[in-house]
Amino acid sequence: MISMFSTWRVKDFDVGTAAASHIAAESLDAADWIDVPIPGDLYLALHAAGRLPDPFGDRTESECAWVKDREWWWCADFDAPAIAANQRLILTFEGLDTFATVWLNGKALASTDNMFRAWSFDIGGHTRPGSNALVVSFTPTSTAIVDKAMPVWSIISDPIEETKRNFIRKAQFGWGWDWGPRLPTVGIWKPVTLQLETDAAIEAIKFTTHDISEARDHAKVSVELSIDAFSNAATLSAGIVLRDPQGVVVYQRTLGLSGAKASIELNIDDPQLWWTPELGAASLYALNVVLKADERIIDFRDMKVGIRTIAIDTSSDADEPGASFFRFVVNGVPIFARGVCWVPASSFVGAVDDPHYRHLLRMAANANMNMIRVWGGGVYEHDTFYDVCDELGLLVWQDFMFACAPYPEHEPVFVENVRAEVRHQIERLRHHASLAVWCGNNEGQAVQGFMNRMTGGNEPLAGALYYDKVMPEALAELDPTTPYWPGSPTGGPSDNSMLAGDVHHWTVWHGLPLVPIDEPVGSFDHSPEGVAYTRYAEDNARFISEYGIQASPGMQTLQRALPEDQRVLGSEGLLNRIKDKPKDKVDAMLIPVTGLPTTLEEYVDFTQITQAEGLKFGIEHFRRRKPHCSGSLIWQYNDCWPGISWSLVDYYGFGKAAYYYTSRAYEPVLASFKSLANGDVELWITNDTLDTLRGEAIVELGTFDGDTICSVPLAYDVEPNGSKPVWQASAAQLGSCASRFLTVSSSDDVFETNRWFFAAIKDLDRPKGKLPEVEIEVVSAHELHVHLAAATYLYFVHITTPHGWTYFSDNYFDMRLGETRTIIVRNSGVTISPQDVQIASC
């Protein structure tokens, strides 16, 4: 029997003034308490009750600051069942944020201190007939860690001396980051369950793919059970059934159980493997385990598993002496990771629902992505996130939740707390087919190394105990087949080296220096030349696990987030949406690309153009370098609030221009132009599939007036998983100037059409602000087909609606004179009409 506590009541008190005995009394009058749903969030409940303004409203952060300084008490009632001698009643909190005491009928059960752990208690001896009062009190984090101190550094906006966040095992971004507000959460953030167990219970299940034959016609897998048997009154057995993706039983067996663990090895013929989207289907098997006591079912688990192997190849790169690979290998096939970095989908992590996860991850899959990096300053995500990644074939790079700070190693209690967190999350997530790598932390090694070079010191990294010992030891025991990487970035002669490991590229945007490790580190260069996105071409790294450019969300989001008087360039409300500093940092990037804006509408367009064109340039460069470079993870994919950040998709589900540019640049087959130092231009074809590509491409040199100067058909032949140049023209042949452009198209639709400009966007001699001819066809209440025809060259054509989570088959594209397109516009959640559609270009 499992019961769920879906609604709780909550009230705040001055610290230390509330009494559990009063709150737990049967006669408690909770009329002045407010309801909080679980899953849910305290801030949202307070807003609904009229005690807080909208936390995401115009400059309302400061009005919400009092929440973190109060003591919060949550209460719920339940009727306990009768408990036999061979039974126990287990109360489980899957997530308590963070310093909490659990009370039952006025007596303390335990205190907790980690948001990332589940907490279970046998309450069989503490219940009473009839109603039972379950109470959880939360102490402010500032009170709980007031006596903590250690030498620290931090690269977040708020001073670490104020928050001491490195002593607190909770979501680090909640104290504010350079893309999110300061809204530290508190309370019950994940489900609470009550389970009556009889004789024994399934503690854990481990599914492992050990080997796949070279021909991929045979796989060896295993299932390991951990059983908690607390009664000797029955004979235990476990039934194991494995069904293929079509529901056909491929293995079935009943095991007699005599100890705490049992395991079996399975040999699967003709396995349906789990692949990333460009390589095949994300095939999932259904694993069912039933625990019986004397033939009575007492527990069961159903899970989806994938048969696949994943490794990281760090062998030497013979073509680039002194360098080594960093590439993921799926089922024996090296892949190029085309992906993004994920931050929590809301500041209120307990309130993100399943549809929100599915929308965001489906958008990632639609944009030809195959990897999501869960960043280490947020949370280990909800189960739905990993389930959907399994379904869609999206690999998950999973950071442990440590980011941009040193972490204490000198307190045994803290060390054991981290150890328990690590073990819990490994056991929780290891069965997911999408899980590709565990990573120790975000930027710890790199920032410590950078600071040592800046100061000439040699300070060790506080936290290395976890990355070098605690985590790898736990993985060796609990999940030895999933790769581990100690930090991102790390590897090579420095911890942001272009010779080995992964890199966070922040020359573009932040102006960090790109210098060899044996040279002194220079100052940041924030000049337009220093941060120009063309500097991506200087990066010869192995795997770029962070890089990005900020851009404003669209006007649809700004209209929701800002009152009308703040929808002005430079307004305090607009600037509050920018958490990076200085607030005008984007100007240096805009100057050479679009020039500086004079209106809010121009600000939206110019920042989105710069982000989109810059990421396109970077992706194409990194992909052309495969296999020497084997990954591109853009910072960042999503937003936790309606802010101005590096995101591709904003908080309300509107894709920025860069989302659509990225989708095209992440196509499994990419044709891209490369400018050489002497002004010549090469055409490259990059192939991420397992097929040899042979076909015909057409390269055209055209003018914005509509003339075609020349058209060159060319045959190409690109090996599986390869990348190479297939055409070159000299600067003299091209007559490079601002009125001309190059395009490449596929005669058999193998790749998307691409183009190359010979000047910055602001300097192009082209028509501006023209619109295509438009005809809108209503297919259904939820789908429109927008037919477009261009009477001139059109740049940055985009279609918008006021509805978030709207699907566009393409958006933010160019059209040549005489070109026609049909764009599918679909939203299953709302009715859309032709009147909702707006079309613009730049």
In sequence order, what DSSP letters do the residues of 104-161 get, joined into one string?
A: ETTEEEEEEEBTTS-EEEE-TTT--SSEEEEEEEE--HHHHTTT--------SSS-HH
Query: Is residue 795 located within the same domain as residue 752?
Result: no
Q: Are 177 and 230 found together in one domain?
A: no
Residue 205 has a pLDDT of 98
Q: At 168, which CATH number?
A: 2.60.120.260
The domain containing residue 54 runs over which residues?
Answer: 2-194
Any domain includes 323: no
Residue at which a domain ends, from 666, 696, 729: 666
3-state secondary structure 786-798: EEEECCCCEEEEE
Q: Is 270 left (phi over 0), alpha (psi -120 to 50) or beta?
A: left
Boundary of a domain, candidates 194, 213, 232: 194
CA distance 282 to 276: 6
Is the sign of the CA dihedral 124, 126, 132, 134 positive or negative? Answer: negative
Same domain, 293 and 441: no
Do the domain assignments include residue 832?
yes
Cis peptide before 489 (omega within 30 of 0): yes
pLDDT given at position 30: 67
Residues 578 and 718 in one domain: no
The answer to whether residue 318 is domain-embedded is no
Task: Yes or no: say if 150 and 406 are a contact pair by the CB < 8 Å rule.
Answer: yes
Same domain, 631 and 694: no
Q: What is the pLDDT of residue 29?
A: 63
Q: What CATH number does residue 279 fall under?
A: 2.60.40.10
Instruction: Give pLDDT tens digits for 262-308.
Output: 999 999 999 999 999 999 999 999 999 999 999 999 999 999 999 99
My answer on whether 740 and 818 are in the same domain is no
* Cα–Cα distance, 124 to 80 (Å, whole number): 9
Same domain as 156, residue 225: no
Q: Which of 305, 324, 346 is the last residue of a domain?
A: 305
334 touches 299 (CB < 8 A): no
CA distance 655 to 408: 40
With respect to residue 328, please indicate whether it lies within any of the assigned structural domains: no
Statement to judge: residues 603 and 706 lie in one domain: no
Same domain, 146 and 95: yes
pLDDT of residue 160: 42
Stretches where the chain sits below pLDDT 50 are: 157, 159-161, 518
Domain assignment of residue 347, yes or no: yes
Q: In what order do the strands lie in the sheet with 740-746?
A: 708-718, 693-703, 740-746, 754-757
CA angle 178, 621, 725 (to 5 degrees): 170
Q: How many domains does the chain have?
A: 5
| 330 within domain boundaries | no
Asked if residue 320 is part of any domain, the answer here is: no
d(CA 829, CA 354): 14
- On whether residue 16 sits in a domain, the answer given is yes
Strand partners, 269: 218
Tokens of 682: 């090469």
CA distance 498 to 651: 33
Same-domain pairing of 641 and 684? no
Residues 138 and 168 in one domain: yes
CA separation for the pair 461, 406 (Å, rounded): 7
Q: Are residues 693 and 550 in the same domain?
A: no
